[in-house]
Structure 1
């Protein structure tokens, strides 16, 4: 009952967003590391396709290195991009938490009658 498509999709979104937050933190921590290439996390398209197929648990979270141009030291971390991405990811994470909370709120209401 708790493992319906919606709940599994929400869990997948939270996992993908959490992974993105960790990668952003790693990028920022390595902003001055020569040769470091920023990481990027992608899961939204895979999650969307998996939900459409009725199997949201099959969505993969992929992490890849950025192919954006590098500075002279070989590093391509852009602090402005990372900060904006972190804010966006945080807001999306809060939205998914709210959706999860609302879903359980509905379930509690139904149980209480």
Structure 2
């Protein structure tokens, strides 16, 4: 119970989802880059932010709460249910002449995912440092 109280009152669940998403995006971009010359290869992307906005009620749509896995989903999922989803976009343009991977675009995506992962990991570290200081009774200035 204490674990749930401490960690759900912080941004840690959100940061955890972000770290998972950015790691998956790095993996997807690396996979796309590795297959830049593979004939017929379809690039992969990861979607997450739209479902996260819905789960956090940023879009303010109709909501409902599932109390059983057998219930129909009404409105957005909860934060616990939102997961990064890999998908293959419907892109018919052959950027490299053999597939739909644009190496420059993938390098930008890879760098962006790395920077985002680094930021989220620093924020996670700060959150744990603040919790550690609170537990020890230290006062920060």
The superposition leaves residues 42-100 of structure 1 with CA deviations (integer Å, 9 ceiling, x where unpaired) of 11121232234793211121111132312543x01000000001111111101100110
Larger radius of gyration: 2
| CA distance, structure 1, for counterparts of residue 53 and residue 16 of structure 2 | 13
Aligned in 2, Cα 1:18/1:31: closer, same or farther, shift over 3 Å?
same
TM-score (norm 1): 0.89
Gaps of 5+ in 2: 58-75
**What aligned pairs does 1:17-56 form with structure 2 within 5 A after superposition?**
17-52=22-57, 55-56=78-79
2:90 pairs with 1:90:
no
* 3-state SS in 2 of match to 1:3: helix
Aligned to 2:83: 60
**Alignment gaps of 5+ in structure 1:** none
Runs of 4+ off more than 4 Å: none
What CA distance in whole angstroms lies between the structure 2 residues aligned with 1:51 and 1:107?
Answer: 24
Q: CA RMSD in A?
A: 1.8
Aligned length: 112
> Kindly tell me: are residues 66 and 57 of structure 1, through their superposed partners in 2, closer, same or farther at Cα, counting changes over 3 Å?
same
Distance 2:29 2:8 in 1: 30
Matched with 1:16 is: 21
Q: Which is helix-richer, 1 or 2?
A: 1
Asked whether the 8 Å contact 1:9–1:57 carries over to 2, the reply is no
